[in-house]
Every structure is written in C-alpha cells, then in structure tokens.
Amino acid sequence: MTTLIAKSPPARRRWGVSRLQRRNLMIGLLFISPAIIGMALFTIVPMLQSLYYSFTDYNILQPPYWVGLENYEDLFDDRVFWIGLSNTLIMVFLALPLHIVFNLVMAFLLNSKIRGLAIYRTIFYIPSITPVVASAIVWMWIFNGQYGVLNEILGWFGIQPIGWLTDPDWVKPALIFMGAWFGGNTILIYLAGLQEVPADLIESAELDGANAWQKTWSITLPMISPVIFYTIIINIIGYFQYFTEAWVMTANREGAAGGPANSAMFYSMYLYQNAFQQLKMGYASAMAWILFVIVLIVTALLFFTSRYWVYYRSEDN
C-alpha cells in the first residue's frame, strides 16, 4: 500500500476530484460495462416488468390486462400454492440445517488426518457435478417400491418395503436423502475451511488445557463460521428455488408433476406450471414476487444475525 502511494504521481485536484481519479472512474466503468449492461438488461428491467405483470392478466397471446391485486388474492385461496410454499419451507428449514450439520460432521471426520483423503474427497465430490437428470434416473430406480434395491437392502434388516416415491409421507425424505448425495461439494468447502484454521491457535488452546469440545466450540467453529455462513446463504437460495430434482423425479409425460397428493410439489414447480404450461404469466409473476420477498426477508434476517455468530478475522486485504 505504502509503495503504491509513494509511486503515484502528485495529483492535481480540481473540484475535489483529481484528474487521475476521473480518468480511473472512466476506465473502471468501461471495464465493468458488461456487468452494468447485463444488470440492466437481465435483472433490473425484467424485475420491474415481472412486478408489473403480477398486477395483470397475461397469457402472452393478448396484451397484459390490469387486474390490480387480483392475482395475489387468488393465490391466497389457491390450495396448491400453499402446499408448494409449505413443502419449500420444509426443505429450507429442515433439509438445509440437516445438510449443513451432516456435511460439517463429514468435513470434521475427513480433517482428522486420515489416510486416503484424496480418494474420499473425490468420492464425496463427484455426485455433485454429475448431471441431475442422469443421476435422478438411477435414484428413481433405487427408490422403486417394487423392484428398488433400497427396499431390498432395508429388507435384510427386517424393514417392510416403503413406497419412497408413491407414499406422500416418504417422498420428501427420499428427496432429502438424494439431495445429500448431490450436496457433497459442501463437505469439500468445509474441509478447505478447516484446513485454513491456524494450527498454532489449536496448539496454544491445548497447552491451556482445552478439551476436544472446547477446541471445537471456541476455536474451530468460530474460525470457519464465515464459510458456514456462505454455504447457508448459497443453499438457502438454492432450496427456495428447488426445482430440478423434484421435477425430474415426479414429472410424467403429460407434464403433470408434484408426486402423490402434491407431496413433492414445490414452489418453483407450481410457478413453472402456471407460467409455461398454463400461460398464466401474471399469476406466475405474482408468485415470483412473493418468493422474492420471502427470500429477501430470510436472507436479511440471516445477515442481521450473522454479526452475533459469524466471526471475521481482521485481515489486511
């Protein structure tokens, strides 16, 4: 930093801004112009448009027709909307914490200096990069109530066959189980975080007589709390938009999806059906905006609480 200031030419100031600063502003904006154009074209304008559509009746073929709050009122009485919302919230508030804790435990285990780490790492990572559709096909077959290998294996332990994809009570557990398989990359993110925890911190705690729990609670977890926070944010957004896994597992040739008794009907699936199967663009836009507001509230709450549990090392960069 000091060298940079020393080497900078003496700035001639005019209106409080030096020529160098103005030149840098121009060049800087030029470099990031794709981002600015992209944000305007693919984010801000469509956002405002969908807000407008949410107050209209719009089927693409005829121009949008203003209906005020009607879409929102109709949603309030729409049973499937509430099913989709509650299913999605179950994923966010049940599957997500399970996902975080499970992956954290796995990362801790892998971090205990075991041999063959590279092999384990590869095994846990690969499912997360396989195409969801390709993997879901084998999962459908594994979960099959009649011919599925999962029921066969559970049968060895005397467990009665379960209709994983046909029993409304078991569809979500099946999806969460499959989701864990797809989410092994989080283990690697935590593992990378754990390996960054300075060894001397742990050693000095040991010298002070800290036991394993104390070391974990007072040093390791706080040190990787930013990583945990990051994965929570990324996964929350992912779970609110939960679509592909459930769609692939439940959609049939008529385009109906959602599993038995809508037990696997998630918010984004119902939104997709309204928008692209029934061409109720206004209705679907209202759904999108409700989702957006919920995501905003949840992430804002997370960011707000983060100051109480996320520990940032004061870094120079």
Q: Which helix (H) or strand (E) holds 18?
A: strand 17-18
Burial 232-249 (b: 16+ CB within 10 A, else e): beebbebbbebbebbbbb
Give 96 or 248: the residue with its C-beta nearer to other proteins: 248
Out of 86, 196, 204, 312, name the contact with other proteins by CB under 8 A: 196
Residue span binding other proteins (CB under 8 A) among the ranges 16-24, 72-80, 213-221, 258-266: 16-24
Place of tokens 């459930």: 246
Phi, psi dihedral angles at 279 (to 5 degrees): 55, 30
How far apart (Å, rounded) are the C-alpha atoms in residues 184 and 102?
Answer: 10
Residue span binding other proteins (CB under 8 A) among the ranges 69-77, 90-98, 167-175, 270-278: 270-278
CA distances, 282 to each of 42, 44, 53, 233 (Å): 19, 18, 5, 29
Site for other proteins in 67-126 (CB under 8 A): 106, 109-110, 112-114, 118-126
Out of 83, 165, 171, 291, name the contact with other proteins by CB under 8 A: 291
Give 28 or 168: the residue with its C-beta nearer to other proteins: 28
Residue span binding other proteins (CB under 8 A) among the ranges 70-78, 87-95, 139-147, 165-173: 139-147
Question: Under the criterion CB under 8 A, does residue 203 sit at the interface with other proteins?
Answer: no
Where are the alpha helices (H) located in 40-157, listed in sequence order?
45-53, 70-76, 79-90, 96-110, 117-129, 132-143, 149-156
How far apart (Å, rounded) are the C-alpha atoms in residues 259 and 276?
Answer: 19
Give 262 or 282: the residue with its C-beta nearer to other proteins: 282
Question: Under the criterion CB under 8 A, does residue 278 sit at the interface with other proteins?
Answer: no
Tokens of 2: 């000091």
CB-based burial label for 139 (10 Å; 0-12, 13-18, 19+) = buried
Give 262 or 273: the residue with its C-beta nearer to other proteins: 273
Out of 55, 164, 170, 240, name the contact with other proteins by CB under 8 A: 240
Residue span binding other proteins (CB under 8 A) among the ranges 79-87, 90-98, 160-168, 247-255: 247-255
Site for other proteins in 218-237 (CB under 8 A): 226-227, 229-231, 233, 237
Phi, psi dihedral angles at 13 (to 5 degrees): -95, 135
Question: Under the criterion CB under 8 A, does residue 61 sit at the interface with other proteins?
Answer: no
Question: Under the criterion CB under 8 A, does residue 292 sit at the interface with other proteins?
Answer: yes
How far apart (Å, rounded) are the C-alpha atoms in residues 299 and 291?
Answer: 12
CB contact set of 78 (below 8 Å; sequence gap of 6+): none
Site for other proteins in 150-189 (CB under 8 A): 152, 181, 184-185, 188-189
Site for other proteins in 19-58 (CB under 8 A): 21, 24-25, 27-32, 34-35, 37-39, 41-43, 45-47, 49-50, 53
